[in-house]
Structure 1
């Protein structure tokens, strides 16, 4: 009993000294460090990443490099396809009604390889223009449409899209609701006077919407670049160029171009041209050229106020025995309003051209002494377009100067 007590007392004394020396705190610290080391070992062993797989592709632009690149591309695409299949489980869709609306899930765009859009827009896609074999609407060396839907293409009466003076097509035989109008009920001479009456009526009111709204208008517009239509062109091409061939018979129609232009300089210019049946040019609302088959502009009773807009030009024949007519001189200054109307009365064939002459300029001359003039242009032609123009059979026959001055079109903020 005494030995046990002595031993217990001895142990008690040792514990007392151990505690006094800080042995308790040391034990706790050692235990915590051991526990942290053991936990760290298991954590590191658990989250250690697997060894990365590296694909080595031969370099140097060799055949082996190209083949490896193709194989790599195929692997990436296959991975994307597999991922897409995993992310979009197949679902069966049952439709009980033939008129039911089906909503399909959206594809994740990041997993879809889209084609290069540059390959879709380039290459074989092309616009229209002149063709030595008579592309599109033309025959022989005539102008052709040759344009694909959605792209700017040339027609007989202007370009679909692009720059130029905006032009609209009107039919005198029907209104906006396609109800027939009392037009063309008389003989050809009476119909011609009636046609001229309509043109003078809309011109007197500055081609305002209030008067033009009384006629059928084609939904498609074109932009005037220059006017050069072979005179053996069928009148059906008028409505066709505006997409209205199913709604309009090829007679009693006209095209109205209007816009503000700036001349190449502030000198004096005059228009020269002819069109079967109608061609009149207006500057700031006043007629300055009547190049129609028969005179269209009404006389106001004052001497010389109409005669000076329809002077004989001589030169080559344009259609039949008709040559071009010359208008009065105009001094351009800044932005100027221009209206051009061309059209057809009885149907049959149409054609003609519109040129411009600068006062004091030097031009080459034909054998009869008449100057070889350039076409009136609202758009600068590139080298290819100019080459095509000079190769056009009609342009060769009537002779036009390839150096076309450009009357720049000022676009309105309201269009």
Structure 2
């Protein structure tokens, strides 16, 4: 599914002042202003994925969903087993109509091309979508969908993690589930990492962007990309009990050492400047140029 685009040349974009809490501005000659947060641009740009924020505590009419566990100041952990079947059902087919039919969503869409959300307060999600006074940062999720044309032919895999949920689908196949699964609860998708890769990731125990040691990076399945050929991408990220939240997606090319930031459009100097402001770890992944 292609996303309508406002085509901007790099030369038309200049980096503006920061807005706090990971927010920034991009502005240029072809549009008056494009706001940017960790969750994406506030306008569709060429190669971006359309992101929609859903509030799974309420139905499409903004009424509380049935049998929602009572939320407490001390812990909202009961929300996890309640919410998990909803995500699992969605991740089987990435049926966006299922979410549209059943849950409340923010009016503002954001358009992402890279996904680096350092570990921090879950409140950044509704704030980025402009609904911090309307949607509490518990049992929320953002669905991204769109297509892009890769700049390079090759075999790749994604590396990522989220607290709580990160599921990525490329051309109709889930290639990574970097979610945190609480003991005793089922997985959020049918994707399973190979035993050998699980062992490698566990032994390496690599953590990035402020994530806790227990939430080390997970490596996805290999998939093929062809230069200039439309590639469908769907991403679902979610926070369940509230409090802390973060998510990131990196990419590795087969036969090429090191990881880079996964992006569906070339990173401009302005993009790189924005990313470097998010977290010091970014520099490691921006330093590997093709």
> TM tier, shorter chain?
0.7 to 0.9
The reply on whether 1:315 has 2:210 as its aligned counterpart is no
Distance change (3 Å), C-alpha of 1:397 and 1:386: closer
Deviation at 1:151, TM superposition (A): 2.2
d(CA) in 2 for partners of 1:206, 1:386: 30
CA 1:221–1:261 in 2, change beyond 3 Å: closer, same or farther?
A: same
Distance in 2, Cα, partners of 1:393 & 1:157: 12
After the TM superposition, list the runs of 4 or more consecutive aligned residues in structure 1 that deviate by more than 6 angstroms.
Answer: 126-129, 147-150
Distance 1:297 1:287, change over 3 A: farther
Partner Cα distance (1:349, 1:222) in 2: 21
Once the two structures are TM-superposed, the CA of residue 314 in structure 1 deviates from its matched residue by: 2.8
- The aligned length equals 256
Does 2:65 align with 1:172? no
Q: Which has the higher helix share?
A: 1
The one of 271, 279, 288 equivalent to 1:394 is 279
- Counterpart for residue 338 of structure 1: 233
Q: Could you tell me how far apart the structure 1 residues matched to 2:143 and 2:236 are? A: 5
Query: Equivalent of 2:172, from 279, 282, 285?
Result: 285
> Which is richer in strand?
2
- Residue 4 of structure 2 is matched in structure 1 by none
Partner SS state of residue 135, structure 2: coil
Which whole-Å CA distance do the structure 1 matches of 2:24 and 2:142 have between them?
17
Of 138, 151, 157, 2:33 maps to 151
User: Compared with structure 1, are the counterparts of its residues 210 and 290 closer, same or farther at alpha carbon in structure 2 (3 Å cutoff)?
Assistant: closer
Of stretches 212-221 and 201-210 in structure 1, the one that deviates more from structure 2 is 201-210
Query: CA, structure 1 residues 256+211, in 2 after alignment: closer, same or farther (shift >3 Å)?
Result: closer
1:361 to 228, 240, 256: 256
Greater RCO, CA 8 A, separation 6+:
2
CA distance in 2, matches of 1:402, 1:377: 15
For residue 327 of structure 1, the aligned residue among 220, 232, 244 is 220
Consecutive unaligned residues of structure 2, counting only runs of 5 or more, are 1-12
Structure 1: runs of 5+ lacking an equivalent = 1-125, 300-304, 364-372, 406-415
Verify the 8 A CA contact 1:203 1:285 in the aligned structure 2: no
- Give the whole-Å Cα distance in 1 for the aligned partners of 2:69 and 2:32: 40
**Is 1:221–1:242's contact at 8 Å kept on the other side of the alignment?**
yes
**5 Å matches for 1:33-112?**
none
Residue 154 of structure 2 is matched in structure 1 by 267
1:228·1:395 contact (CA, 8 Å) conserved in 2? Answer: no
Q: Structure 2 length as normaliser, TM-score?
A: 0.77
- Determine which of 20, 23, 44 is the counterpart of 1:137: 20
**8 Å CA contact 2:76, 2:242 repeated in 1:** no
1:193-224 deviations in whole A, cap 9, x for unaligned? 22221112222243232443211011100111
- CA deviations on 1:117-143 (whole Å, 9 max, x unpaired) are xxxxxxxxx9777x7xxx3232xxxx2
Q: Once the two structures are superposed, what CA deviation does each residue of 1:15-71 show, in whole Å capped at 9, x if it has no partner? A: xxxxxxxxxxxxxxxxxxxxxxxxxxxxxxxxxxxxxxxxxxxxxxxxxxxxxxxxx
1:378 lines up with 2:270 in the alignment: no
* 1:219-230 to 2 correspondences below 5 Å: 219-230=107-118
1:41 corresponds to: none
CA deviation after TM superposition for structure 1 residue 293, in Å: 2.0
* Matching of residue 238 in structure 1 with residue 120 in structure 2: no
CA–CA separation in structure 2 for the residues paired with 1:226 and 1:331: 19
- Residues 268/189 of structure 1: CA separation in 2 closer, same or farther (3 Å cut): same
Q: CA deviation at 1:191?
A: 2.0
Q: Find the residue that maps to 2:266 and give its secondary structure.
A: coil
Deviation per CA, 1:297-347: give whole Å up to 9, x if none. Answer: 344xxxxx6123983263235412121110010112432221101110011
How far off its partner does 1:175 sit? Answer: 1.6
Name the SS of the counterpart of 2:194 in structure 1: helix
In the superposition, relative to structure 1, how do residues 156 and 397 fare at CA in structure 2: closer, same or farther (>3 Å)?
A: closer
